[in-house]
Amino acid sequence: MVIGTGYKRHNCIESGTNKTVCRNQANVKSCRYYKSGSSFFYPNPAGTYINAVLPESIRGAVNIRIYNLAGIKVSDFDTEASDRYPVRLDVSRLPAGSYFAVFTGIPANLSYTGRFIISR
């Protein structure tokens, strides 16, 4: 659900058990409303990259595994997640289709899964 546009940087505003997360990077302008503890991807469907906004419990070192719908792991790498910016995933080498990404916070050993689509 889009509730605003035109924000110049990441901005989180606490609102009960929900958060408002706003972004403006490259040509992507979005402001999404989601429940605390969940994750979302944008743009979704993706072309060559996708941004992942992770729950606040996953920060610092993160392992990311991407699986296709057949359950085959197509990517596995480590990166850093921060409070200010989403994790940017390069999906340019993956064929069009649906995928699951598993994000595991290495220090906390917590995992979250999200689904995204690549279309070209």
23 domain residue, yes or no: yes
Structure tokens at 85: 């910016």
Q: What is the pLDDT along the chain (120 residues), one digit of tens a residue?
A: 333 333 333 333 333 333 444 443 343 334 443 444 456 899 999 999 999 998 888 899 999 999 999 999 999 999 999 888 899 999 999 999 999 999 999 988 899 999 999 998
34 domain residue, yes or no: yes
Cβ atoms of 19 and 2 closer than 8 Å: no
SS3 call for 58: coil
- Which residues are CB-contacts of 66 (< 8 A; sequence separation ≥ 6)? 73, 74, 75, 76, 89, 91, 94, 99, 100, 101, 102
* Cβ neighbour number for residue 106 with a 10 Å cutoff: 13
Put simply, whether the predicted model's pTM sits higher than 0.75 gets the answer no
Q: Would you state the pLDDT for residue 40?
A: 82
Domain range spanning residue 59? Answer: 11-118
CA dist 53 and 86 (Å) reads 5
Structure tokens at 8: 């110049």
CATH number, position 62: 2.60.40.3080
